[in-house]
């Protein structure tokens, strides 16, 4: 109940404060690219049901049926020119503040996945994730903020996503469900702001030293190696 109250307060205040930014972006999108302002997509939510997630439109309308489908790579040709900036700064995610107000999401939680991506989680992770509201940000988003770069470097992006990224991301989301609290919620909000400003920071591993250890083949990509080797 406390987290839901904070969700309403934070999302309402953010929409009000960010309106001078959000309105011009909506106008730019309306008169550029394909003229779409919002992108709506079904995502798996609390209880395993689906809801319509909102984002600023950054890709071609038919992108889910093109190329790598719902998985986006670095320098993906389906991304529109303005979309590159919006995705890099995560501004494209801000319309989800409306999803938070409506109760579909929380400020912090596991990122809501398409059904295809959700199915790539191991069963124990799926069962844990659907017990909480999905989040605008969360531990998985912070650790995997460079996911598109990892996918771009992989020889087989689909296999890498299904066999390396999602099993470990699932462990991170299970950790969040086990450790959910107002303290964790507030710390993850602060960390989200921090890594947007300093993307290569590994501070998350110092703040939460009990996080599941990443697989060796992505330890460097998620900044685990640098922090723990130095320690």
What are the φ and ψ backbone dihedral angles of 38, each rounded to 5 degrees? -115, 150
pLDDT tens digits, one per residue of 41-85:
999 999 999 999 999 888 776 665 555 555 555 566 677 777 788
What residue spans define the domains of the chain?
Answer: 2-230
pLDDT tens digits, one per residue of 93-143:
899 999 999 999 999 999 999 999 999 999 999 999 999 999 999 999 999
- The β-bridge partners of 40 are 54
């Amino acid at each position: 109940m406390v987290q839901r109250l904070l969700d309403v307060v934070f999302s309402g205040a953010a929409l009000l404060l960010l309106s001078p930014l959000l309105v011009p972006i909506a106008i730019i999108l309306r008169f550029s690219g394909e003229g779409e302002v919002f992108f709506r997509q079904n995502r798996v939510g609390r209880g395993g049901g689906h809801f319509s997630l909102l984002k600023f439109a950054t890709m071609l309308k038919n992108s889910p049926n093109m190329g790598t489908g719902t998985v986006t790579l670095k320098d993906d040709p389906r991304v529109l020119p303005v979309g590159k900036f919006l995705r890099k700064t995560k501004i494209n995610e801000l319309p989800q503040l409306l999803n938070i107000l409506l109760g579909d999401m929380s400020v912090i939680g596991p990122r809501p996945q398409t059904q295809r991506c959700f199915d790539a989680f191991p069963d124990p992770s799926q069962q844990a994730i659907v017990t909480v509201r999905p989040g605008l940000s969360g531990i998985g988003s912070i650790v995997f903020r460079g996911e598109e770069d990892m996918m771009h470097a992989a020889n087989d992006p689909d296999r890498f996503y299904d066999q390396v990224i999602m099993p470990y991301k699932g462990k991170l989301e299970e950790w969040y469900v086990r450790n959910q609290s107002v303290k964790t919620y507030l710390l993850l909000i602060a960390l989200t702001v921090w890594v947007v400003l300093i993307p290569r920071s590994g501070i998350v591993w110092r703040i939460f030293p009990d996080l599941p250890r990443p697989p060796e083949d992505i330890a460097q990509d998620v900044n685990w190696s640098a922090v723990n080797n130095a320690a």
